[in-house]
Chains A and B, each alone.
Chain A
């Protein structure tokens, strides 16, 4: 493994990001792994960034590009809010992201999912993948880990879920993607946005449900040796 090349590789977020609408708002979810080549540069990053009080964005792709794009859009939205005299809608936020992504498509490498709640349209999810297209969907998935979730969502998604059902769906989906995608991992972060406000939740990696062939998290192999009846290792 060539360590020198890996540490100078651009900081990318392998990632699994999800945005889901439910009756009353949206739930955004993401993993927390940022990698440079084969090394995990940050195992607890926060990929769900705030744009305004009621609009958040999930970032994937190049860490630098997505941070800069969300910084610019936060700045434009702040000015827009002042000029408009009321909070910005999620559609405006999504369109600002889309304009930056599309007009700079040759230079940017970032896929974003915008989710928010406003009084005109309620909860909305907008996906803006690599080329800069904008698509409004009842749910959206993105990042390298999303490849493993298309079938899962086809089966598990339903219209008109409650807040808890939606959040459990998002946590389950991110945890499934983390199990299969090397570039996703760490903890699961969720953000729920509705008329009442914003709630941030955090699910540590070792508290997630175990899937096929996953083992119980161990603190140290020394614990196995020191325990009274160590289990024989099974292949």
Chain B
């Protein structure tokens, strides 16, 4: 890509000047503060009745695990869920934003949301920010035109696939899918395969760990299986329990209940203009 020689007045849209300044500073050794990433293994696959999404639950801040049980499968619509990898703030913000836009669109059209709508909203947003919104997503759902599964990359490109993996553990999970996926899996086979793929990421990738979350979406509805599998329980806790020496003496305990200042009327009249 060539640099423009002539100084053109700003045409509007996002200004990437500070991004260039940050890159220049990084090269000189001044690093920005580390931010919370979801190292992550996220997967999705299409089975005979719909879509199954899976994710691990580790969130990292540089080398530290800052959340051992975070939720990476985000709600977009009653029939659409989205797994997010990359910067935790970016995935949360972008999925929340598109989820609100989808709800407004549902009110506007009076119909159930479609997966391609969510896909287009997400890819337009991410493309406009040219990859600086670091969100890599696996979007899955079932709508009137059937089950759909898409991957969305931070630069705004999308792929439509029967099975997909994203995140730092994607290679480990993809190896499991490539060897064991076939069309027309049943619900239990699908859940087992997704669990196996996420576990492969959890145990072989340093950026992923803790538990497995699963979300099964079919025409009838959705099932969010939070912590479907917990292969990393906390072992070696002291059987005696932990006791910490008391340092501050309690002199007096006084409890004052708060008085209700508001009268709650059951029923009441409807608001009139």
A interface residues, Cβ below 8 angstroms from B: 3-4, 7-8, 10-11, 34, 36, 39, 41-42, 44-45, 62-64, 67-68, 105-107, 109
Residues from chain B with a CB closer than 8 A to the CB of A34 are 157, 159
B1, B155, B170: the one within 8 Å of A11 (CB): B155
- How distant is A75 from chain B, measured CB to nearest CB, in Å? 11
Asked whether, in the complex, the Cβ of A64 is within 8 Å of the Cβ of B155, the reply is: yes
Known interface pairs A42-B151, A68-B156; 12 further A-B residue pairs with C-beta atoms within 8 A, sorted by A's residue number: A3-B168, A7-B170, A8-B154, A10-B131, A34-B159, A41-B159, A42-B159, A45-B159, A64-B153, A64-B157, A67-B158, A106-B2
Set A7, A68, A106: member contacting B1, Cβ < 8 A:
A106
Given A3-B168, A10-B131, A42-B161, are A67 and B4 also a contact pair (CB < 8 Å)? no
Docked Cα-Cα span, A170 to B219, in Å, equals 41
Q: Contacts A106-B2, A107-B1; is A4 near B155 (CB within 8 Å)?
A: no
Measured CB to CB, the residues of B under 8 A from A are: 1-4, 123, 126-127, 131, 134, 136, 151, 153-159, 161, 167-168, 170-171
Min CB gap A6→B, angstroms: 9
- Asked if A4 and B168 make an inter-chain contact with CB atoms under 8 angstroms apart, the answer reads yes
B123 and A36 contact, CB distance less than 8 A: no
| Closest-CB distance, A10 to chain B (whole angstroms) | 5
Minimum CB–CB distance from B37 to chain A (whole Å) comes to: 10
B122 to chain A, nearest CB (A): 12
Task: State the majority secondary structure of interface residues on B.
Answer: loop
CB-CB under 8 A for A63 and B155, given A8-B134, A106-B4:
yes
Q: Is the CB of A68 within 8 A of B168?
A: no
A67 close to B1 (CB less than 8 A)? no
A11 x B171 contact (CB < 8 A) = no
The complex places the Cα of A4 from the Cα of B123 at a distance, in Å, of: 22
A-B pairs, top 3 by smallest CB distance, nearest first, are A63-B157, A64-B157, A64-B156
Contact (Cβ within 8 A) B158 A39: no
Of the candidates B127, B131, B159, B171, the one whose C-beta lies within 8 Å of that of A3 is B171
Beta-carbon nearest neighbor of B170 in chain A: A7
With contacts A45-B159, A64-B127, A106-B2 known, is A39 near B153, CB below 8 A?
Answer: no
Chain B residues with CB under 8 A of A63? 153, 155, 157
By a CB distance below 8 angstroms, the chain A residues around B4 are 106
5 A-B interface contacts by CB (under 8 A): A3-B168, A36-B153, A42-B151, A64-B156, A68-B127
A40–B65 Cα distance when bound, in Å, is: 29
Neighbouring A residues of B126 by C-beta, 8 Å: 64
**CB distance B159 to A62 under 8 Å?**
no
Taken together as a complex, chains A and B put the C-alpha atoms of A36 and B154 apart, in Å, by 11
Per the bound structure, the CA–CA distance linking A94 and B177 in Å amounts to: 39
On chain A, the residues within 8 Å of B156 by CB distance are: 64, 67-68
Q: A67-B158, A68-B127 are in contact. Are A11 and B168 (CB under 8 A)?
A: no
Which of A7, A42, A64, A105 sits near B168, CB closer than 8 Å? A7
Cross-chain contact B171 with A10 (CB below 8 angstroms): no
In the assembled complex, which residues on chain B have CB atoms less than 8 Å from the CB atom of A45?
159
Measured between beta carbons, the chain B residues less than 8 angstroms from A11 are 153, 155, 157
| Residue in chain B with minimal CB distance to A41 | B159
Please report the C-alpha to C-alpha distance between residue A36 and residue B161 in the assembled complex, in whole angstroms: 16
Query: Separation in Å of the B136 CB from the closest CB of chain A?
Result: 8
Q: Is the CB of A67 within 8 A of B123?
A: yes
A62 touches B171 (CB 8 A): no
A7 to B3, alpha carbons, bound, how many Å?
Answer: 26
Q: Which residues of A lie under 8 Å from residue B161 when comparing CB positions? A: 42, 44
State A105–B4 Cα separation when bound (angstroms).
Answer: 10
